[in-house]
Amino acid sequence: MTNDNCLAGIKCPMCGNEDRLFIVATILADVTDGGADIADGSDMHWDDTSMTRCPDCDRDGPLAEFRASAAAGGQHRAPGLIALLWDFIENGGSSYGLSFFDLREKSAGRSSGLGRPAPGDSRPPGR
């Protein structure tokens, strides 16, 4: 599908999805104690610095990285941890040339606990 409106020239640089993206946008809200609505006459605004996420592969980054010209120009950012783990599960290994221990090292320091060694694992982290 060739987009010619809001997503014209925009697609996921990792999986190629161009049908739907999540983009952080700014709006003018009409807020009362009872709730909030988009203010009359308000419009949504986003730009190349707006954080964007692909719902298909969880690739995220600034919108500029999702522009087709950026993807064609060879700009590439490493996929996020979720995409790396999903790739590892689906393919029985990594399509990115990473080992399980590379994934474990990448996740170290996150609150998910994925970077912690398994009980009885005596190997040093990252090995």
Same domain, 65 and 90: no
Please name every residue paired with 24 in a beta bridge, in sequence order, or none if there are none: none
> CA 29, CA 37: separation in Å to the nearest integer?
6
Query: pTM for this one?
Result: 0.53
Q: How many CB atoms lie within 10 A of CB 121?
A: 10
How far is residue 63's CA from residue 52's CA, in Å, rounded to a whole number? 5
95, 127: one domain: yes
DSSP string, 52-108: EE-TTT--EEEGGGGBHHHHHTT---PPPHHHHHHHHHHHTS-TTS--HHHHHHHHT
User: In this predicted model, what pLDDT tens digit does every residue of 39-63 receive, in sequence order?
Assistant: 998 888 999 999 999 999 999 999 9
| Overall number of domains in the chain | 2
Say if residue 68 is in the same domain as residue 90. no
* Same domain flag for 49 and 84: no
Residue 116 makes CB contacts below 8 A (sequence gap 6+) with: none
As a whole number of angstroms, the distance between CA 8 and CA 2 comes to: 7
Same domain, 3 and 55: yes
Q: Which domain holds residue 23?
A: 1-77
**pLDDT score recorded for residue 19:** 93
The answer on 45 and 12 residing in a single domain is yes
91-111 residue pLDDT tens: 766 665 666 666 566 555 443
